[in-house]
Structure 1
Amino acid sequence: MKTKIMLLLLMITTALCTQAFGHELWVNALPIENGLFRADIGYGHAFPAPEPIADDRLHIFKPLVLVTPEKEMAMVQSGENYAYQIKTDLKKETCMVLGFYRPTFWSKGVSGWAQTDRLQRPDANYVEEAVMYGKTIVNINGATDDALIKKPVGMRLEIVPLVNPATVKAGDKFPMQVICDGQGAKLTEVTGCFAGFSDKGYMAFSGRTDLKGLIDFIPLKPGYWIVKAKQALEHQDKKRADEVVLLSTLTFTIME
């Protein structure tokens, strides 16, 4: 009975946390077909399904970036406005795809949310500068190397896996570090869920980093997972916003 109550509290808490985040950013990598490496920007509430990005928000997103052990390559948008691709001859490598949501001011007032700062909307009740990052790990043809993915890529808020998820089994510890502005993000909440877990924003995992930003994430079952971290920092220019809100996600697959 106690376990059921604790699980219910976790689901309620993480649901409220997800609502506070609003839209989230993540990255999905797709199977290589005919020499094309493909990936999608996920933006919304329905992980892992991507959805068309509203016209007035398209400018916020940078093109996806494919990172291999040899180089970084900007991907090309093709088809749906969230879809990207690039020609590749990758055979058996571990690589990453990175997504970036440019710093964007959002204000909240009696008429709702708008893409404005406080200078543009003096009567706003709250203003934040939102910055989001997404990263996915791709193991091509059974690759398990971890040298590339263990290196931070320079995101202000970043989830860095300390081993390759290809070597992690369901129920095992998956060590990670959350970094904020180059330092371990201490006592930062980390949540996660697998595709199909819930259509209401509930999380299957919730924990906090230690004083060095380290955490052992535990994937409960095989499947496609998303891990999230968030930091809200006081904005340096109070004339424009109250806070800078950073959100970072990491997606990966845990095999059978």
Structure 2
Amino acid sequence: MFRRIVFLGVILCVLMVSAAAQAHDMWLEKRGDRVWLLYGHPGATDPYPISRITALTGITPNEWKVALEPEYHKGEAFAHLNDEFALITVDFNNRYWYNTEEDGWRNFPAPREVCGTILDEGRSYKLSKEIVSWQPFMDKPVGMRTEVVPLKDPTKLKEGDTLPVMLYFEGKPMPGQGARVSKTSDSHIEHPEMTDFDGSSPVMVKVGPKGRQLIIGKYEKRLDDTRRVWFAFSLSFTTKK
């Protein structure tokens, strides 16, 4: 048993290191009476420690926020939905990263002394939200540090339609420098093409084939020449047309 635990720990470390280089995404997916948190890319998800989840929240149609308790199952977390939720959100601590000339990307729980020439370093966060049933309050920020905000009900759109979205940071339109969002919500595309957000005008996102939709956002907040704060965030929903 001990060897197995050690082996799984090593695998997790390798996966987390590769995550930085491959810019893994994270999203929520409702299945029946459960919501799952998935990490990786569409069609190829990876395990992660449940301890990285710092908040998992269900929001009712009346905008009441309820803390959900994540459970672990085969490397992924889920939560039971035992109430009526219109929106589900999650915050995920992706810890502290260093990129050095000698060792490449390495991940630690907190900043520390490292050997070598540092090219980039910084804190990484991932945030996601899933629309279960559209409500009018969803065309505005719901209090996440970074988020994709649709300006109209995306669940009523069909393939080829365009959805106007805004990117928000701490409740205000995200600064244009360093902010990007995927051009399509087609969840079958593993690495969707990204477009820059200018800080004021909505971005038009093309809706994918009927079914699961996923919009990916990225924001890099520069602190100085090497230090960054990285945010990866997503919005998921389902279309029926």
Q: TM-score, normalised by structure 1?
A: 0.72
Q: In the alignment, what sits opposite 2:81?
A: 86
Alignment gaps of 5+ in structure 2: 1-18
**Which residue of 136, 141, 144 maps to 1:155?**
144
**Which residue of 126, 130, 154 maps to 2:124?**
130
**Which residue of 181, 188, 192 maps to 1:190?**
181
Amino acid corresponding to residue 227 of structure 1 in structure 2: I
Counterparts in 2 of 1:77 and 1:103: CA distance versus 1, 3 Å: closer
**Deviation (angstroms), 1:19:** 7.3
Moved over 6 A (4+): none
Counterparts in 2 of 1:137 and 1:50: CA distance versus 1, 3 Å: farther
- Indicate if the aligned counterparts of 1:152 and 1:160 stay in contact, CA closer than 8 A: yes
Q: In the alignment, what sits opposite 1:255?
A: 240
**What secondary structure is seen at the aligned counterpart in 2 of 1:148?**
helix
Deviations 1:220-242 (CA, angstroms, capped at 9, x unpaired) = 42221211111111227x8xx61
For 1:65 and 1:29, how far apart are their aligned partners in 2?
13
RMSD: 2.7
For 1:42 and 1:106, how far apart are their aligned partners in 2?
21
1:224 matched to 2:212? The reply is: yes
**Deviation (angstroms), 1:119:** 3.5
Deviations 1:41-87 (CA, angstroms, capped at 9, x unpaired) = 1112x32665431xxx4322124211112311122223514111132
Q: In the alignment, what sits opposite 1:29?
A: 30
Counterparts in 2 of 1:31 and 1:86: CA distance versus 1, 3 Å: closer
Amino acid corresponding to residue 197 of structure 2 in structure 1: T
For 2:236 and 2:153, how far apart are their aligned partners in 1?
12
**Deviation (angstroms), 1:20:** 4.9
**What secondary structure is seen at the aligned counterpart in 2 of 1:166?**
helix
Aligned residues: 214
Q: Map residues 1-256 of structure 1 onto 2, 5 A cutoff.
A: 20=21, 22-32=23-33, 38-44=34-40, 46-47=41-42, 50-53=45-48, 57-70=49-62, 71-80=64-73, 81-88=76-83, 90=84, 95-102=86-93, 104-109=95-100, 110-112=102-104, 113-115=106-108, 119-121=112-114, 123=116, 125=118, 126-139=120-133, 145-185=134-174, 187=176, 188-191=179-182, 192-197=184-189, 201-203=190-192, 206-235=194-223, 242-256=227-241
**Deviation (angstroms), 1:169:** 1.7
Amino acid corresponding to residue 52 of structure 2 in structure 1: I
For 2:220 and 2:194, how far apart are their aligned partners in 1?
18
For 2:55 and 2:170, how far apart are their aligned partners in 1?
22
- Indicate if the aligned counterparts of 2:97 and 2:108 stay in contact, CA closer than 8 A: yes
Alignment gaps of 5+ in structure 1: 1-17, 33-37, 140-144
**Deviation (angstroms), 1:193:** 4.5
Amino acid corresponding to residue 82 of structure 1 in structure 2: A
- Indicate if the aligned counterparts of 2:50 and 2:72 stay in contact, CA closer than 8 A: no
